[in-house]
Amino acid sequence: MAANSPVYLVTGGVSRLARARPDKNFQGLVKEAYDYALNDIGLDCGKAAGLIDGMVTSYFSDQFTNQLMAGIMVQDYLGLVPKPGHRVEGGGATGGICLQEGWKAIASGYMDVCVAAGFETMSRVNRWKANEIIALASDTVFDYPVGGFYTGYYAMMVVRHMMEFGTKRKQLSMVAVKNRKNALHNPFAQNPGDFDLEDIEKAQMVSWPLTYLDICTMSDGAALVILASEKGLDRLEKASGRSIKKIRVTGIGRGTDMMRMADRPRNKQVPVIQETAQDSNDVEKDDEMTGYPGVHSCRAGRLAAIEAYRMAGIENPLEDLDFVELHDAFSSSEIQCYEDLGLCNYGEGGKFVERGLPFMPGISYQFESSQGIKMPEKGRLPVNPSGGLIACGHPIGATGLMQGVFALWQLQGTIGQHFKDDVLQVRNAKRGAIHSHAGTGTYVAVTVIEAGE
């Protein structure tokens, strides 16, 4: 099979996400997602085991499980040994990278049916310890010793964004309201809520300007997708006796950046999708502006998007995409990532929110009635219709795969079936993007998927 042969997302499942799942170990959480995915296409575990060629497993930290090689234990539990398998890890982008590794297994011809599964059980350690473990994804020699917890990093990044571009606290709150309100219609979500702007801003302060409600929470959970070639899809359809809608992975991209944020350049050697809101000629002439550090945006995200768009034939993401599931670990990072994904000009992420483009058209948000805020382009490109990480949770190794499952259901037109109402169904969705982000933008993976005929 040639490397450019079609690769399909066939089915997926998500476990119940919660702050703690003491009822199941990590193997059991993945099995919960696996059973959901198989049931959705009418297969049982025994029949599926004979059709699946191998597996890729993702989880962020061995410390959460207190177990090395937990990936092979999951594969064993699902009855998929002695088939090929491996584990991937890439911080918060772990699940998104896992999905792309599954794509590679199919696109290369190595497999015809591949399971890509991710999990995290973050409740197995105290919350302070979990924050410390996550903080180890910063440079432990340079950044971590001087207070390198992620809320602090992202607060610093958005303060820089505010200073340079005039981004407003209200715009961050609008993102948090959007995502938590969307999630009221998503039964898989961990932290939905019917909040107003004032609720977000008056919540407990964590690291200014980010409050508790601006930030995703730790989670126990798992998510899983099954990918297939044309031949593999045919095998699955024959075994299940069902016709499976073709949802194809058409573009993948990844980018990286220095772990130490102080080392990141601002504009030199930094590709862009949309021009900066500032005059680019002035920026290039100003040595101070082309110096260090470049912390108002994520170069890795730009590279990942450029690669994925080029492969998928996307020239204008605002027009060519129907929705985006974006890594919003913080309300501020969602605004920054609009720009990195080329959904708007650099520096205009806040304006993108106020215009209403990333909101769901069929939902009435609290501030529309309570404060009379008008959004003239409401619903033009929904971002995080599922509720995103802020509302769904962030079981790190599962998160990118969770995004993949929600995107798959959007393109299948089955949100109503899985969520028990169709409020979050993006109408006539044909193409979507998944954005997975690690650290402070150290690894980023962007995947484009499309509905076929």
- The average pLDDT across 14-36 equals 97
Which pLDDT band, with edges at 50, 70 and 90, does 226 fall under? very high
Provide the pLDDT for residue 290: 44
Quick check: 438 pLDDT over 50? yes
Average pLDDT over residues 216-220: 94
d(CA 226, CA 96): 14
Give the pLDDT confidence score for residue 252 in this predicted structure.
Answer: 98
With a cut of 80, say whether residue 76 has pLDDT above it. yes
pLDDT at position 377 is 97
Tens-place pLDDT, residues 380-399: 999 999 999 999 999 999 99
Token readout for 368 is 């529309």
Contact by Cβ (8 Å): 334, 387: no
Cα–Cα distance list, 407 to 99, 180, 193, 247, 426 (Å): 12, 18, 22, 10, 10
Q: Is the peptide bond before 265 cis (omega within 30 degrees of 0)?
A: no
Q: What mean pLDDT, rounded, does the chain reach?
A: 92
Whether the bond between 209 and the residue before it is cis, its omega within 30 degrees of 0, is yes
Domain 8-127+220-248, CATH: 3.40.47.10
pLDDT at 265 over 90: no
**Cα–Cα distance measured from residue 407 to residue 340, given in angstroms and rounded to the nearest whole number:** 20
Strands (E) in 289-343, as ranges, are 323-325
Residue 30 phi, psi dihedral angles, 5° rounding: -65, -40
Task: Please name the amino acid found at residue 14.
Answer: V
Q: Report how far residue 208's alpha carbon sits from residue 38's, in angstroms, rounded to the nearest whole number.
A: 44
Domains 8-127+220-248 and 132-218+250-451 share a fold: yes
Average pLDDT over residues 430-438: 97
> pLDDT grade, residue 2 (50/70/90)?
very low
Q: 372 falls in which pLDDT band (50, 70, 90)?
A: confident
* Mean pLDDT on 413-417: 98
DSSP type of residue 18 = B
Mean pLDDT of 81-101: 97
**Nearest residue to 96 (alpha-carbon basis) of 399, 306, 307:** 399
| Residue 435 pLDDT exceeds 60 | yes
Instruction: Give the C-alpha separation, 361 to 181, whole Å.
Output: 12
Sorting pLDDT into bands at 50, 70 and 90, what band is 271?
low
Q: How far apart are the first and last CA of the chain?
A: 21
Is the sign of the CA dihedral 325, 111, 44, 85 positive or negative? negative
Cross-strand partners of 9: 227, 247
Residue-wise pLDDT for 311-343, tens only, equals: 999 999 999 999 999 999 999 999 999 999 999
Question: pLDDT tier at 4 (50, 70, 90 boundaries)?
Answer: low
Q: Residues near 432 by Cβ (< 8 Å), separated by ≥ 6?
A: 321, 322, 323, 324, 325, 407, 410, 411, 426, 448, 449, 450
pLDDT > 90: percent of the chain:
80
By percentage, how much of the chain surpasses pLDDT 70?
Answer: 93
State the pLDDT confidence band at 147, using cuts at 50, 70 and 90. Answer: confident
221: β partners: 120
Q: How far apart are CA 336 and CA 151, in angstroms?
A: 15
Tens digit of each residue's pLDDT (9 = 90 or more) over 276-311: 544 443 334 344 444 556 788 888 999 999 999 999
> What is the rounded average pLDDT of the residues 37-60?
97
Would the pLDDT of 181 be above 50?
yes
Q: At what angle do helices 70-77 and 26-40 cross, to 10 degrees?
A: 50
Enumerate residues 6+ apart whose C-beta is below 8 A from 128: none
Tell me which fold the domain 132-218+250-451 belongs to.
Answer: Peroxisomal Thiolase; Chain A, domain 1 (3.40.47)
User: 3-class SS at 392?
Assistant: helix
Residue 69: predicted pLDDT:
96
Q: What is the pLDDT of residues 239-255, one digit of tens each?
A: 999 999 999 999 999 99
User: How far is the C-alpha of 359 from the C-alpha of 22, rounded, in Å?
Assistant: 35
Determine the average pLDDT of the residues in 79-102. Answer: 97
Domain ranges of the chain: 8-127+220-248, 132-218+250-451
Amino acid at 290: T
